[in-house]
Amino acid sequence: MTHWKPIETAPKDGTHILLFSPKATIKITGGYWFKKSNMWITGGYMHNNVTAWDVLPEEPDFTKIK
């Protein structure tokens, strides 16, 4: 379950996080802040209309899947 926070509170140190962009085709995706362009990077694309963020969920433990 996500606990979306305002994008103004997101880390801007290169940490990968979940990003919500209401105007994008894919509204929720992983990404990070890119200092050189002052924009969010998601899947190799730059976005400036990101409005919320959350931490990434834990990675699945595939050793427990049978």
pLDDT in tens, 7-53: 999 999 999 999 999 988 889 999 999 999 999 998 888 888 999 99
Quote the pLDDT of residue 1: 57
The pLDDT assigned to 17 comes to: 97
Spatial neighbors of 27 by CB under 8 A, at least 6 apart, are 20, 21
Give the pLDDT confidence score for residue 56 in this predicted structure. Answer: 94
What distances in angstroms separate CA 61 from CA 1, 47, 64, 65, one per listed residue? Answer: 18, 31, 6, 7
Tokens of 34: 């890119």
Tell whether the model's pLDDT for residue 62 goes beyond 90. no
Q: Tell me the domain boundaries of the chain.
A: 5-57
Give pTM, 2 decimals: 0.83
In this predicted structure, the answer to whether residue 63 has a pLDDT above a threshold of 80 is: yes
Output b/e per residue, 26-54; b: 16+ Cβ within 10 A.
eeebebbbeeeeebbbbeeeebeebebbb
